[in-house]
């Protein structure tokens, strides 16, 4: 099982592409996790009907993309506090015995070399029970001049 948390749209697409290729080569499945961030002043089980409906739509779209690779895909919404996504991802990964987490994340160069990723990415890296692959995005295309 390869687990893919859905974070940013562009980075998630790249991460999902990598995860589906790996899963297809190995005959694995993919678990797509959509985070539902709950503010600190609210209980984790607070009602978020509209947000959950929007996440289900996003999960269905990404699931269809994963299945287009011929890969079995499952979906789940995980509730997390801002900056603490790692705990929910780790629990899901342990539950399904994931062999890999593929995480799409942009490199934020303004943070410098000490913290090039967001707090959520670091929390996933710190809490993960299995290896984590960070997909920072598709490589930029180099255009060649025609002589």
32-36, 43-47, 69-73, 74-78: range with lowest mean pLDDT: 43-47
Query: Is the backbone of residue 121 left (phi > 0), alpha (psi -120 to 50) or beta?
Result: alpha
Q: What is the extent of the structural domain holding 83?
A: 2-135
Split into its structural domains, the chain has a count of: 1
pLDDT of residue 98: 94
pLDDT of residue 120: 83
- Asked whether residue 144 is assigned to any structural domain, the reply reads no
Average pLDDT over residues 130-144: 72
For residues 5-27, one letter each, b for 16 or more C-beta atoms within 10 angstroms of the residue's C-beta and e for the rest, the string is bbbeeebbbbbbbbbbebbeeee
Average pLDDT over residues 1-19: 87
28-63 pLDDT, tens digit per residue, is 999 999 999 999 899 888 889 999 999 999 999 999
pLDDT of residue 136: 81
Give φ, ψ of 86 to 5 degrees: -55, -40
Whole-angstrom distance, CA of residue 131 vs CA of residue 43:
31
Mean pLDDT of the chain: 86
In the numeric block, the tokens 């687990």 are attached to 3
11-32 pLDDT, tens digit per residue, is 788 899 999 999 998 889 999 9
- Asked whether residue 141 is assigned to any structural domain, the reply reads no
- Asked whether residue 102 is assigned to any structural domain, the reply reads yes
Average pLDDT over residues 121-138: 86
- Asked whether residue 31 is assigned to any structural domain, the reply reads yes
- Asked whether residue 143 is assigned to any structural domain, the reply reads no
Helix (H) or strand (E) holding 32, with range, is strand 30-37
- Angle (nearest 5°) at CA 50 between 49 and 56: 90
CATH number, domain of 111, equals: 3.40.50.620
Distances (CA, A) of 61 to 13, 87, 135, 142: 11, 25, 20, 30
Nearest to 71 by CA among 34, 31, 104, 35: 31
- Asked whether residue 145 is assigned to any structural domain, the reply reads no
Question: Are the beta carbons of 137 and 14 closer than 8 angstroms?
Answer: yes
- Asked whether residue 147 is assigned to any structural domain, the reply reads no
- Asked whether residue 61 is assigned to any structural domain, the reply reads yes
2-6, 7-11, 66-70, 129-133: range with lowest mean pLDDT: 7-11
**pTM here?**
0.83
Residue 84: pLDDT above 80?
yes
């Amino acid at each position: 099982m390869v687990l893919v948390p859905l974070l940013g749209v562009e980075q998630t697409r790249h991460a999902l592409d990598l995860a589906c290729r790996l899963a297809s080569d190995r005959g694995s499945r993919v678990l797509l996790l959509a985070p539902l961030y709950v503010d600190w002043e609210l209980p984790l089980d607070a009602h978020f009907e509209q947000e959950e409906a929007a996440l289900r739509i996003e999960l269905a779209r990404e699931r269809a993309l994963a299945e287009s690779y011929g890969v079995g895909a499952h979906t789940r919404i995980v509730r997390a506090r801002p900056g603490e996504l790692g705990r929910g991802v780790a629990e899901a990964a342990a539950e399904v015995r994931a062999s890999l987490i593929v995480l799409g994340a942009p490199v934020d160069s303004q943070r410098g070399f000490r913290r090039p990723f967001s707090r959520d990415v670091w929390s996933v890296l710190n809490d993960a029970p299995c290896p984590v692959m960070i997909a920072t995005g598709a490589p930029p295309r180099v255009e060649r001049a025609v002589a």
